[in-house]
Structure 1
Amino acid sequence: MKTVICEQPGQLALAERAMPNPGPDDVLIRIRRVGICGTDFHIFTGNQPYLSYPRVMGHELAGIVEAAPAGARVKAGDQVYVMPYLSCGRCVACRAGKGNCCVNIRVLGVHTDGGMTEYLAVPQAFVFKADGVTLDEAAMLEFLAIGAHAVARADVRAAQRVLVVGAGPIGMAATIFAKLRGAEVSVLDGRADRLSVCAGALQADHTVLLDTTDAATDAAELAALTDNEFFDVVFDATGNVKAMERGLQFVAHGGKYVLVSIVSERISFADPEFHKRETTLLASRNATVADFETVLAAMRAGQIPTAALNTHVVELGNLPDEFPKLLKPDAGVIKALVAC
């Protein structure tokens, strides 16, 4: 079967691998679509801290069941999505229903080989039906679920002022689900093209262009949008240390700061600023089964502009040549999908 392998940073290769040999608890899936995530870009550029090479990338997965164990909730021919966070089910987090932050987590495409291949065997506990949506949409469930999880973590409520910092796919996902909860959503980013998508397709209430020459300019604009009170909830989806440290200043007194992105470096805040606001600081990692179900229901209801989010499709066999092009800002990528 055809498989794309990231052999080392900057090097993808198309190879032939043997078909997987499913275990007694595994579902064999014919992979049909793979979403390309920021994690995959980081793997390719050598900036993923939890990975060893070579690695088959790909954790945003949709496909068709080839074979399933007797009694499984899916059967041959079903269209499915994969929850790629392979949790142990035994640790302190799993016992609390938080498999998304399992102590022993193995994420497909990061800690173990993922889905940029034609067939994949996955434990049945992590394979779910994707009825009522297209294969393209099913492959977009995972990144949207991360945004839905962050919004749920923050318990965003109607009429709250919400700021999303970073208008990549995860930031857009947080925007979508904050809007669905009735919040007034502002988005801050340095790319006018992505802000345009947020204002149009995602119906963000306000967009603010990051001023890279004078930070006071965009801060003043955000202050003006909120009568100098700033935001009840701020989400950081930048993956940038300076942005994560700066974002605290946009949190209202009594507000919440949610770090959706992750960096391998330390981040710090001025304690007086953190303390005087009585800030609630939250990490948001991965997503839960409930978050995937939230996204699936919203997709079925036509509440997610998936056509606007899916900007590029690449055939699996062409991926080694096409992948570097997707990294370029002028490519205009929001969500690229691999067709297998």
Structure 2
Amino acid sequence: MKAVRLEEIEQLFLREVERPVPGPDDLLVRVEASGICGTDRHLLHGEFPSTPPVTLGHEFSGIVEAVGSAVLGFRPGMRVTGDPNIVCGHCVHCHAGRINLCQNLRAIGIHRDGALADYVIVPQKQAHELPLSLKPDYGAFCEPLACCLHGIDVAGIKAGSSVVVLGGGVIGLLTVQLARLAGATRVVLVTRQASKRRLAEEIGATASFDPTAGDAAAGIAGPDGLLPGGADVVIECAGVAETMEEMPRLARPGGTLVVLGVMAKGEKIQIEPFDILFRELRILGSFINPFVHRRAADLIISGAIKVEPLITRRVSLEEVPEVIRNPARPGEVKVLFMPSA
């Protein structure tokens, strides 16, 4: 079979490899759709820890082709999505219920072979059934949506809250929708790209702001801004220093800041501790998707989250290495590998 292999840092190739064989507790899944994520670019450049050589791809859905001897509840022909984050269940963090902080965390597509390939192995405990009536490419959104859902849970958004979302990529646009579902009545998306601002307002944002048009803090939190006094919650989804540093200026006193975007490991930003102290701001991290993958899948199945407008293009496996090697195109939201592309 074919697979997109990160052989070492900056070395990404399409290779012919042997089809994997499922162990007793595993499913062999024929990949129907696999998302290309910003994290894949971080992995290529050594900006996010991984264990090459490894097949990339951690956002996926597919059809079960074979099951191991100890598998219960899954059978060939079922459609599944896979939670890529495999925890040990034995460390202090797992025992405390903080499984996303597992000391022995291993992820499909990062530490073990993933779904930018014809087939992928999924442990049965990581698999979640999807209906055959669901479009297969929608199933590839379960993992990114689950990460956003954890961020919304961390943020503690209440009915009537105001929220600023920084970044107009797929994470930002999913977060906009989740914030509205959580009860936020005012949700402002901040991004430079006009097409993404328009899209955000089509799928749930009550307003959007172009940071190139003026000072974001004045335009959003100023006396004549979109949210005078600042937002109850600010969620950073872009993973860049500029927006990370901007977060406190957009929050009201007592507000909550959530870091959901991924900056490269080792990068630093500047903040003013006195401002955090004096206005009693809460700064929280949100890492991956503890106990939320099933909820994310159900939101997609129900149609409560719109994913079709977020699909920019579908590509073949042969095209994937170049997609990962290059920055996202202007206006691009989500690129999916699909065998039928």
Query: TM (normalized to structure 2)?
Result: 0.91
| Distance across 1 between alignment mates of 2:135 and 2:98 | 28
Structure 1 match to 2:66 = 67
Q: Where do residues 60-99 of structure 1 align in structure 2 (5 Å cutoff)?
A: 60-69=59-68, 70-99=70-99
Structure 1 match to 2:106 = 106
The total of aligned residue pairs comes to 332
> Aligned in 2, Cα 1:199/1:226: closer, same or farther, shift over 3 Å?
closer
Structure 2 match to 1:154 = 155
> Aligned in 2, Cα 1:277/1:285: closer, same or farther, shift over 3 Å?
same
Equivalent of 1:278 in 280, 285, 307: 280
Match status 1:187 vs 2:189: yes
Q: Which amino acid aligns with 2:174?
A: A
Structure 2 match to 1:173 = 174
Contact 2:174 2:305 in 1 (8 A): no
- Please list the CA deviations of residues 37-86 of structure 1 after superposition, one character each: whole Å capped at 9, or x if unmatched: 11112233x15231244332100011111222345232111100000011
Match status 1:123 vs 2:123: yes
Question: Structure 1 residue 139: deviation in Å?
Answer: 0.7
- Please list the CA deviations of residues 212-266 of structure 1 after superposition, one character each: whole Å capped at 9, or x if unmatched: 8x5xx22211023456310100001121123212211111111111011232223
| Distance across 1 between alignment mates of 2:227 and 2:155 | 22
| Distance across 1 between alignment mates of 2:137 and 2:329 | 23
Contact 1:73 1:128 in 2 (8 A): no
Q: Which amino acid aligns with 1:109?
A: G
> Aligned in 2, Cα 1:2/1:96: closer, same or farther, shift over 3 Å?
same
Match status 1:269 vs 2:247: no
> Aligned in 2, Cα 1:322/1:271: closer, same or farther, shift over 3 Å?
closer
Match status 1:37 vs 2:37: yes
Contact 1:148 1:295 in 2 (8 A): yes
- Please list the CA deviations of residues 146-168 of structure 1 after superposition, one character each: whole Å capped at 9, or x if unmatched: 11110111111111010001111
Q: Which amino acid aligns with 2:217?
A: A
Structure 1 match to 2:47 = 48
SS of 2:55's equivalent in the other structure is coil
| Distance across 2 between alignment mates of 1:194 and 1:338 | 22
Bigger drift between 247-256 and 11-20 goes to 11-20
Q: Which amino acid aligns with 1:206?
A: A
Question: Structure 1 residue 310: deviation in Å?
Answer: 1.2
Root-mean-square deviation (CA, aligned residues, Å) is: 2.0
Contact 2:43 2:49 in 1 (8 A): no
Contact 2:234 2:256 in 1 (8 A): yes
> Aligned in 2, Cα 1:320/1:271: closer, same or farther, shift over 3 Å?
closer
Q: Which amino acid aligns with 2:321?
A: P
Query: TM (normalized to structure 1)?
Result: 0.91
Q: Which runs of 5+ in 1 are unaligned?
A: none
| Distance across 2 between alignment mates of 1:253 and 1:36 | 37
Identity of aligned residues (%): 31
